[in-house]
Structure 1
Amino acid sequence: MANCYIIHSESLNRFYTGITTDSVEERLIKHNDGSYGAHRFTSKASDWKIFLIIELTDYSHAVRLEKFIKSQKSAKYIQNLKKNPELVEKIVLRTK
């Protein structure tokens, strides 16, 4: 089991897309407390909140999905993913 997740920082007004085989909630705590180091993008804020979680059966699929979402380079696209579950289903199938 793996998750592709998107978190949002209100203070930065930015999204971050990542993947994990751990709990997304545990991962969020690490992003917010700077556990990944000061040089990481998420260390710029400590108000990250879970925006969207997409559960997948394997890690390699999660990697492909993460890369696809990041390639869109669009906050609007990410917002549309949350509004339209059928869009999530479509990209999950596309990246399989």
Structure 2
Amino acid sequence: MTRHNPYYGYNAYGHSQSGDVSREPVYRQQNSKTHFVMGLAAGAAVAYLLSNKKFREGMATTGEKAWSAVRGEVEELKERLEDTQAELEYYRNLHKGDK
């Protein structure tokens, strides 16, 4: 059974293990133009989104809502912690007279 493995025979740096160092590394041989075009398209998409006023406003609104939710949850957590501390103090004082 033979498996198709494009990296078989190459070390971690992409060089041939047969000692032939004149060949280009594997990552440079495979789809370099495709990777360039995909990177170019991704960069253009990010630039477009960041320059779009509606997108920026929507992101700012979403960020504000998320931050408000986080602040509210932190405040709720603080209240629960204070309540728990008060209960512990109550039970400690309740059983002090038993000793």
TM-score, normalising length from structure 2? Answer: 0.18
Which structure is larger by alpha-carbon Rg, 1 or 2? Answer: 2
The structure in which a higher percent of residues are helix is: 2
The structure in which a higher percent of residues are strand is: 1
Q: Higher RCO, 1 or 2 (CA under 8 Å, sep at least 6)? A: 1
